Structure 1
Amino acid sequence: MLDALFGNLPLMLLSVGLLLMALEAISPGAHFIVIGVALVGAGLVGVLFPPVASPFILAGLTLVIGLIATYIYHEFDFYGGKGTAQTKDSSSLAGATGYATEAITNRTGQVKLDEGGFAPHYSARTTSGTIEEGEEIIVLDPGGGNVLTVESMDAIGEDEIDRALAREAARHADDVDATEESTERERETEKSS
């Protein structure tokens, strides 16, 4: 019985590897592809070169091919999630920006967030007025992630801090102008004397 199993070991590795790769196609992200590629690679070597198809060599090949497949899988990021921001929980949506995909009122609406994770479309409500379709929005309250409270970027405008900074900048500009005028008058007075 063991002789029959080891005699067909390369074919069995090839079959199991192909099955795991098919399972990965059905359920992406399950990481069956790495093991499947390793088994298919070792099985192919065993089928194509029967003299080297001892169980120890096939085990070593499976390990080496598996390590190479793991490196390639992680380095090239075939599923496209590497380096992209995805939401961890609803609180990470606070302050996110996007745009209205349909008009938003205090009862209905939908938005698409710029960095909203795998499914960036959310139901949204506004606390005041109506936000028209296509307007840029910012999330004020994630509300548990099911229904976001948003506000139009245009409606936010200036707050008290922005107004205070503008007043201070204007006051500083007036002081600079006054200083320049007095310096200019002093120069003219010195020239005329």
Structure 2
Amino acid sequence: MAVVEVFGQSLSFLLVVVGTTLCIMEALAPGAHLIVLGVALLAAGLIGLFVPAAATPFVLAGLVLAFGLASLYLYRNYELYQGTGRGQTRDSEDLRGSRGYVTEEVTPREGRIKLQSGGFDSSYSARTISGTIPEGEDVVVVDPGGGNVVTVEAVDGLDDIDRELEQELTDAEGS
């Protein structure tokens, strides 16, 4: 069986080169845009190199499709590539209610915080509506803003349920 050649190289070798290039490009600019195709091309090319009988264009195309579907499935369902980022932000509105801590004192004019599960870069510029929040203090995002500047307030140690119960007690005492 004759080996299919493109540009003087075997098709399997070219698949390995293109797949490796896409994986390297993905490593330099992450975002999972190239990883599925890169893995599919790389895996199909390696099989074509080590199993010469599988080096026909139709078999390689089928392998690319199969490995592409398998890597897409693994990527989507098991988050092998992006880790356990189920709670990571999708847009700025998802930041509302997020908790973090102050890395540089937060005032109404300046400050920095680091959020838990805040996305790829969880460091944000922050402002407070009033007062000052010292470094190391826990905070919650009350207004995500829409850019990389969020409005925060200090966490008083209570969760949302405790705050509601406290509000109900206050309302009941006032009646």
* Pair in the same fold by TM > 0.5: yes
Asked if structure 1 preserves the Cα contact closer than 8 Å seen for 2:19 and 2:40, the reply is yes
Aligned to 2:83: 80
Alpha-carbon deviation of 1:82? 4.2
Matching residue within 144, 151, 154 for 1:152: 154
The one-letter amino acid of 1:38's match is: A
**1:44-98: CA deviations, max 9, x gaps?**
2322232442222222222222222222232331212641231512x44344333
Helix, strand or coil at the partner of 2:102: strand
* Residue 14 in structure 1 maps to residue 12 in structure 2: no
Which aligned pairs between 1:1-193 and structure 2 lie closer than 5 A?
4-5=5-6, 8-77=10-79, 78-80=81-83, 82-89=85-92, 91-154=93-156, 161-165=168-172, 167=173
The one-letter amino acid of 1:93's match is: L
Alpha-carbon deviation of 1:163? 1.7
Asked if structure 2 preserves the Cα contact closer than 8 Å seen for 1:42 and 1:62, the reply is yes
TM-score, structure 2 as length reference? 0.71
Task: Please tell me whether Structure 1 or Structure 2 has the larger radius of gyration of its CA atoms.
Answer: 1
Helix, strand or coil at the partner of 2:133: coil
Q: What's the Cα RMSD here? A: 3.5
More helix by share: 1
**1:148-170: CA deviations, max 9, x gaps?**
333333499898654223x27xx
- Unaligned residue ranges in structure 1 (runs of 5+): 172-193
User: How many corresponding residue pairs?
Assistant: 166
Helix, strand or coil at the partner of 2:64: helix
CA distance in 1, matches of 2:149, 2:57: 58
Helix, strand or coil at the partner of 1:137: strand
TM-score, structure 1 as length reference? 0.65
Q: Percent identity, aligned pairs only?
A: 45
CA distance in 2, matches of 1:4, 1:132: 66
